[in-house]
Amino acid sequence: MKRIVAIHLLNDYSGSPKVLMQLLKAWTKNGIDAHLFTSGGRTGFLSDIPNVKNHFFWYRFSPSSWVRIANFFVSQFLLMIKLLFFLKKQDIVYINTVLPFGATIAGKIKGCKIIYHIHETSVKPKIFKNFLFGIAKLTADKIVFVSEYLLQQESLIDDQVLLYNVLESDFTDQADQFQYVEKPVPIVLMICSLKIYKGVDEFLKLAEKNNSYLFKLVVNASEKEIQEYFRGKTIPDNLTIYPTQTNTHPFYREASIIVNLSHPDLWVETFGLTILEGMRYRLPAIVPPVGGVTELVKDGKNGFLIHSKDIDKLSEMITYILSNSDVYQSFSEASYQTSLLFSEAYFEKESLKIISNL
């Protein structure tokens, strides 16, 4: 039986562990022996996946960049040692994101096939990015990219494939039962990490400028982290901020429009899973004009491509969509039709092809 050893650094409720969870489910469903190595002590999308054998290694996230980088390199040394005792030559080592380079070194020493699944381009600082991407280029037998944009941007080796992120059938089944009803007060929704480069501050400005709408911000952070981030900032009355949510369906159900305000100069969205989820709920979307997210949103068809710094233009287009019912219906239907292309059946077929061709 083929054995896949998948590695991910930080288990949480963000996009990259969610994609790995989907891959692990697809592989185990098809009789593949799947092992997962991730840092312990946290819950997230990689917790308690049926039929997956879990192994944990030490890593602690720290708000201090110096402590974080020290912790990271220690964790990779410990991971490498652990894997040197665990891996067999015939294993496939599946590295999720460019971060777990310790697994790559162990896999190379043991003679395993190495696959990288790359989700990001905005790794900082540049010297760190060059180090991690350099290791991927030197060691990978195959690299999987989550968007055409990322594949073109970070082309590294000859054997590269595109595997779009998709929606799980559990998610689509729930979403497809939903009947949209017009809200008395439209709700603008953003779901993201609590980072300045994700456009959190711009979302505040947008709420301030548009007090006839409600704004909901769901961040991948605790109440304490939210309080720290917004200390000293004025939060408009029409904006509500929510901590990490394990179930985002209620937010999509009540929303009228979904936005992504990432700063293209600091963080390029390489896919945009929350945008795709919103589209399944027939939500028009407004996203940056750069990155993989432009492969989901077509300007003037199911939303608009607008730079997050252009608050006036963002406000104008939100009002345009929400105040014209024909436009809203057209965008809404186009969003839903786009979401149908990103199915679990496509994902399962392609993910099995990726590992069978090694």
pLDDT of residue 123: 84
More confident residue, 267 or 307: 307
What is 169-341's CATH superfamily?
Glycogen Phosphorylase B; (3.40.50.2000)
pLDDT of residue 27 exceeding 90, the answer is yes
Lowest-confidence pick of 57-71, 288-302, 306-320: 57-71
* Residue closest to 225 by CA, chosen among 240, 237, 243, 204: 243
Q: What is the pLDDT of residue 61?
A: 84
Asked whether the predicted pLDDT for residue 1 surpasses 70, the reply is no
Give the pLDDT mean for 124-131. 92
Kindly report the pTM of this predicted structure: 0.83
Average pLDDT over residues 39-57: 93
pLDDT for position 238: 97
d(CA 347, CA 166) in angstroms, rounded, equals 7
215, pLDDT greater than 90: yes
Domain ranges (residues) in the chain: 3-166+343-357, 169-341
Q: State pLDDT tens for residues 152-177.
A: 989 999 999 999 999 988 899 999 99
Can you give the pLDDT at residue 230? 95
Q: What is the mean pLDDT of residues 242-256?
A: 95
Task: Give residue-wise pLDDT tens across range 195-204.
Answer: 999 999 999 9
Same fold, 3-166+343-357 and 169-341: yes
Distance CA 332, CA 257 (A): 9
Rounded average pLDDT over 267-293: 94
Three-state SS across the chain? CCEEEEEECCCCCCHHHHHHHHHHHHHHHCCCEEEEEEECCCCCCCCCCCCEEEEEECCCCCCCHHHHHHHHHHHHHHHHHHHHHHCCCCCEEEEECCCCHHHHHHHHHHCCEEEEEECCCCCCCHHHHHHHHHHHHHHCCEEEECCHHHHHHCCCCCCEEECCCCCCHHHHHHHHCCCCCCCCCCEEEEEECCCHHHCHHHHHHHHHHCCCCEEEEEECCCHHHHHHHHCCCCCCCCEEEECCCCCCHHHHHHCCEEECCCCCCCCCCCCCHHHHHHHHCCCCEEECCCCHHHHCCCECCCEEECCCCCHHHHHHHHHHHHHCHHHHHHHHHHHHHHHCCCCHHHHHHHHHHHHHCC
How does pLDDT run across 268-279, given as a tens digit for each residue? 888 899 999 999
pLDDT band (50, 70, 90) for residue 232: very high
pLDDT for the residue 267 = 85
Q: According to the model, what pLDDT value does residue 184 have? A: 85
- The answer to whether 215 touches 203, Cβ cutoff 8 Å, is yes
Answer yes or no: is pLDDT of 181 > 80.
no
**What is the model's pLDDT at position 42?**
85
d(CA 32, CA 128): 34
63 pLDDT tier (thresholds 50, 70, 90): confident
| Sheet with strand 187-192: strands edge to edge | 239-242, 214-219, 187-192, 257-259, 285-287, 303-305
**Mean pLDDT over the full length of the chain:** 94
Dist CA 300 CA 15 (whole Å): 26
* Architecture per CATH, 3-166+343-357: 3-Layer(aba) Sandwich (3.40)
| Average pLDDT value for residue range 13-30 | 93
